[in-house]
Amino acid sequence: MPTTPKKHLPFSAWPPEDRALWARAFAPDLFDDDRTSHLAAATVVGLRRSYARHLGFLANHDPARLQLAPETRIDPDSIKAFVAHLRRSCRDTSVASLLHTLRLALVYIFPQHDWSWLKTIAKHIKAGAIPRGDTARGVTSAELYAVGVALMTMAEEELASSGKLTLEIALLYRDGLIIALLALVPLRRRTLTALTTNQHLVKTGDLWLLDIPEADTKTRRALEFPLPEALSLRISLYLSRFRDVVPGASDHDGLWPSLRSRPMDGGSINATVRRRTKEALGFPVNLHRFRLAAGNFWSIADPVNVRGVKDLLGQTSFGTTEKHYIGAQSRLAGRQLARALQASRH
């Protein structure tokens, strides 16, 4: 039986010169100015996958071009053929995204070359793409926060009426807390998944603080978010009454226990949040949408200070040019969104 051609050429099968160039660009060097040291591991993986996808295309459809020098084999004609190939199985939004990451990889590998023409092509493809219907695009943090609070309130009411704390009630409260916390502090999936009860949650008086070290953030910058009284009370109740009802929760310190005696992973958290939001709103909201929802809400409730969204989301820039420090600003951003959410409920 013939083997199916690989879309991504494995690193071991890359031309030797490409492997050497990649190692030179992304391997840390203590004695050189490392331009890629700020990149998160996941970002480097994404860049390598885009480069491997292009090499895989050449290996399967234009192997002669692989014999050319790496910096000369990519030109407008080869990219035109690559785009035509991608469009057979990908939407234009995905094609534009892949070209974008491919261009970034080339910028790091061949910094002396001008790759702006590839950026222009990616922009044109993205501009002409027909967007997929997305009901969740306009959802705001206030709406999502209300969903989370409603789930927790429902769990409390069911417990009060039945007098018995069941697993179903505990999971209802857990899921509501995840949604409410994300609405207030829209963390990236990896950071949300990594939260623990004894490292990231810090009690200060009656309030809880999210203390996230740089190792658990994409931008490698520590973040700190004081949580308002209402949510702090819910967290205390969750930790004291609901969390340990989940089987195996006492065997680990993950903030979000699963039914498999270990912390929930990113995929299961995303699936749970999508299911709960679809039940409440009529459409699913994935984890990344919470970050967009914060921008939606802030632009409506406080448009003058909308640039604070950058600090709330733990980003290093607003747009593509402006750079600020995040540490102290993330605390202010969290308080501002919390005040706005509270005001919207009165």
163 with 99, same domain: the answer is no
Structure tokens at 280: 């409440």
- The reply to whether 147 and 16 lie within a common domain is no
Check residue 75 and give its pLDDT: 92
Domain termination residue (choose one: 127, 158, 174)? 127
Higher local confidence (pLDDT), 311 or 206: 206
What is the domain count for the chain?
A: 2
CB 186 within 8 A of CB 291: yes
pLDDT at 317 over 50: no
pTM above 0.75, yes or no: no
Does position 308 have pLDDT exceeding 80, yes or no?
no
- Residue 116: alpha-carbon gap to chain centroid: 27
The pLDDT of residue 335 is 55
Instruction: Answer yes or no: is pLDDT of 150 > 90.
Output: yes
CA-closest candidate to residue 167, choices 115, 243, 223, 229: 243
Grade residue 1 by pLDDT with cuts at 50, 70 and 90. Answer: very low
Q: What pLDDT shows up at residue 296?
A: 58
Domain hosting 283: range is 138-344
pLDDT above 80 (res 115):
yes
The reply to whether 111 and 148 lie within a common domain is: no
Kindly state whether residues 307 and 278 are assigned to the same domain. Answer: yes
Non-local CB neighbours of 288 within 8 Å, separated by 6+ positions: 189
Interstrand relation of 322-323 and 317-318 (parallel, antiparallel or unpaired): antiparallel
Question: Is residue 171 pLDDT above 60, yes or no?
Answer: yes
**With 60 as the cut, is the pLDDT of residue 186 above it?**
yes
228-274 tens-digit pLDDT: 899 999 999 999 999 999 999 999 999 999 999 999 999 999 999 99
179 with 144, same domain: the answer is yes
Q: Residue 299 has what pLDDT?
A: 47
